[in-house]
Amino acid sequence: MGKALDGVRILDFTHVQSGPTCTQLLAWLGADVIKVERAGEGDITRGQLRDIPNVDSLYFTMLNHNKRSITIDAKNPKGKEVLEKLVKHCDVLVENFAPGALDRMGLTWEHIQSLNPSMIVASVKGFGPGPYEDCKVYENVAQCAGGSASTTGFDDGPPLVTGAQIGDSGTGLHLALGIVAALYQRKTTGRGQKVLAAMQDGVLNLCRVKLRDQQRLDRTHVMEEYPQYPNSQFGDAVPRAGNASGGGQPGWILKCKGWETDPNAYIYFITLLHLMEIFGEIEKWTMTKTKFEAMDILNKRDIPCGPILSMKEIAEEPSLRKTGTVVEVDHPKRGKYISVGNPIKMSDSPSEVKRSPLLGEHTDEVLAELGYGKEAIAALRAEKAI
């Protein structure tokens, strides 16, 4: 069966997490993703948080499925020539270098346009235009600058970052959507365009309900679904809401049977009036049930709730395996590992998860597609351009 993005070629200049999340999704949707890396080290994550010596880390393998890898020294004149050929050959360039790095490589928007006017140039940056536009940014910086940290945690504690990678993976998702829309628009205009997803903006988009609450607070000075109501004071900014839900349905995390020893023996419970008193009473009951027993009983009565699942439980959950949301992948150097598959399911564009490429695994193959013969490839290699 074909794939939604069959025929789309991506020049993937991404590294670390945000950019690779985007290009991995595009690859699952069928695009041919050619990942350009520096010879030797490659994407820095190949070597970070390794669990097996000298083998690509899970950090790398789980973010770079279904891609091809080519090594090019972008600062070598001959390497630059190869890159320029790739610019002409591809539909989209995706990058998440520090601000200015692409320009310093000579790949300015104007130059790319002169080589290929229909090329879409998609970037993740930490901040959009403004006072911080030149800053380098990692996940937690974006969570802090995008409003997530100030609204996460308990009222009497410090701001907290969340384990969900909303700054990196969240922004990668936003960028992928921008690229797909730009490809669609190109069908009528014939032109490429720049697509920018700033991490601060992506996090703020995911914290949209908290900006809603800021305006409610400005007007009414209290918010009845927050745990601060009615017993403590609201200040002038949206407070941390503990485990209260961000929607109109107040909820809390309650202990279940086994909570004394199992850090994840809890259930998320949603209810309405007299919150804390009700939660207190319900918790007396949930503490007599495991979280799964409570889930079964409550769902039969149409009461929304959710067990706190550990990563171990998620990894072992048969229904997630069945849908391909959790997949087992075989890698020539590390053997079998599990990963998150494509969370977007399409009836006419199924995703198969293929292992991540070894560093430079497809250099010769891609160069041959660009028209380089064996001798030319050997010469490039001798000059360390590839």
Q: By the criterion CB under 6 A, which residues form the site for ligand CAO?
A: 16-19, 36, 38, 72-75, 96-98, 101, 104-105, 124-126, 136-139, 168
Known catalytic residues are: 168
Closest approach of ligand CAO to the CB of residue 44, in Å: 7
Query: Is the peptide bond prior to 227 cis by the omega test (within 30 degrees of 0)?
Result: no
Structure token digits, residue 89: 């050959």
Distances 96 to 124, 158, 172, 175 between C-alpha atoms, Å: 5, 30, 10, 11
N- to C-terminal Cα distance for the chain?
35
Residue 100 or 304: which CB sits closer to ligand CAO?
A: 100
Taking the complex as a whole, how short is the minimal distance between the CB of residue 161 and ligand CAO, in angstroms?
A: 12
Task: Report in angstroms how near the CB of residue 304 gets to ligand CAO at its nearest.
Answer: 33
Nearer to ligand CAO, 98 or 209 (CB): 98
Distance CA 62, CA 60 (A): 6
Q: How far is the CB of 25 from ligand CAO (least distance, A)?
A: 15
Category of 255 on φ-ψ map: left (φ > 0), alpha (ψ -120 to 50) or beta: beta
Residue 224 or 383: which CB sits closer to ligand CAO?
383
What is the smallest separation between the CB atom of 139 and ligand CAO, expressed in angstroms? 4
Query: Which C-beta is closer to ligand CAO: that of 136 or that of 212?
Result: 136
Contact 6, 30 (CB under 8 A): yes
We find the least distance from the C-beta atom of residue 140 to ligand CAO, in angstroms, to be 8
* DSSP character at residue 308: -
Between 66 and 200, name the residue whose CB sits nearer to ligand CAO: 200
Q: How distant is the alpha carbon of residue 7 from its chain centre?
A: 24
Q: Which residue's CB is nearer to ligand CAO, number 75 or number 333?
A: 75
Pairing of the two strands 67-71 and 120-125: unpaired
Element (H, E) at 284: helix 275-286
Q: How far apart are CA 22 and CA 75, in angstroms?
A: 25
Q: In sequence order, what DSSP letters do the residues of 142-161 get, joined into one string?
A: HHHHTTTGGGSS-TTS----
Q: Which is nearer to ligand CAO, 240 or 362 (CB)?
A: 362
Q: Give the tokens for residue 48.
A: 């970070």
Return the half-sphere exposure (C-beta side, CA atoms, 13 A cut-off) of residue 89. Answer: 18
The SS3 of residue 12 is strand
Nearest alpha carbon to residue 297 among 265, 289, 266, 271 = 289
Q: Among 384, 327, 366, which residue's Cα sits nearest to residue 86?
A: 366
Give the nearest residue (CB) to ligand CAO. 98
Q: How far is the CB of 138 from ligand CAO (least distance, A)?
A: 4
